[in-house]
Structure 1
Amino acid sequence: MSDDFLQVSVEDKPAPPPYPPADNSNENDQGQFSYGAPPPKNRPPEEGYGPTNPAYGPRSGGTTVIINQPTFVPPKEAFNEEPIRMKCDACHQEVLTSIHYETGMMVYLISIVCCVLGLVAGCCLIPFCVNIFKDVIHSCPNCRHQLGVMRRM
């Protein structure tokens, strides 16, 4: 390799353009910057900027608009093993659902599979005792109305 390839000439590049002069309009005679006098303490509020907290007094003019937030209606896929927060259809209250388990098709299927595999000596009844295989029923804790079901099968 030749040494000419690695050498870089600084003399071939032009000098960068100069920076514009600094604006020193906020600089005082000691070379420190000042930002002007602070606003007066007893200044009245500007037009349209009244107190926002009702404890400070009524606002002059304007109308208070109250907007109700939409309630969350979960899709059927949202029901799982955990209680969820939703609005009850019957009592119209925002509740955290209570859950209980019921025997469903999955329990019977696993019990039949256990019997076919030879687990006849009572082991085929194990799926009836385990909540993992059962359906989950969501209901309202206030009125006991059934809100949703998570079926295993």
Structure 2
Amino acid sequence: MQHDPNAQQQQQYVHDPSQPMPVSQTPAPMYGEKAPDYHLQPQQTGAQGHQFLTAMPLASLSRSPAPVDCPSCGARALTACSYQSGDNAHLWALIFCCLLCAPCVPYVVKSFKDVQHSCGNCAVPLALWHKSGGVDVLIHA
């Protein structure tokens, strides 16, 4: 009986459909499909609920929610975002007041506001992202 090296290679790539496919073996998307973002996709981990693969450093947060490791409760969770009027909104209100007589626009439109990130698990404020640039970390490890 002869040993076939190709048979061993073919068997190596067989996947059991009842088991989740590891990220490194997930097939590439077909033309026209959107590639999945594995950093933001929660994975089911049994008793712990959802777990994110990676966490974003607090100083790197931006406008959108991101998974972080909370220094307060120690949980890895997606941040909850709230919007606040900051210096940038006040500057735009002055400009809108002078040019368009509509100073309220920057106070009602989210794109003019700063974003405060809070822990999705314990609701402790973690960081403040400024529209003008930069992040203030509100809690340190």
TM band (smaller chain): 0.5 to 0.7
Match of 1:35 in 2: 2
Unaligned runs of 5+ in 2: 4-53, 133-141
CA RMSD of aligned residues (A): 1.8
Specify which structure has the higher proportion of strand: 2
Match of 2:109 in 1: 130
Could you give the per-residue CA deviations for residues 76-128 of structure 1, whole angstroms, max 9, x where no partner exists? Answer: 2x2122111111010011111111101101110001111222x22xx111110
Specify which structure has the higher proportion of helix: 2
The answer to whether the Cα contact below 8 Å between 2:58 and 2:126 also exists between their aligned partners in 1 is no
Measured at CA, do residues 147 and 75 of structure 1 come closer, stay the same or move farther in structure 2, by a change above 3 Å?
Answer: closer
* SS state at 1:124 partner: coil
Q: Which runs of 4+ in 1 moved over 3 A?
A: none
Is 1:113 aligned to 2:95, yes or no?
A: yes
Give the TM-score of the pair, scaled to structure 1: 0.49
Larger Rg: 1
Match of 1:152 in 2: 131
Unaligned runs of 5+ in 1: 1-33, 37-70
| Equivalent residue pairs, number | 82
Match of 1:82 in 2: 64
Percent sequence identity is: 30
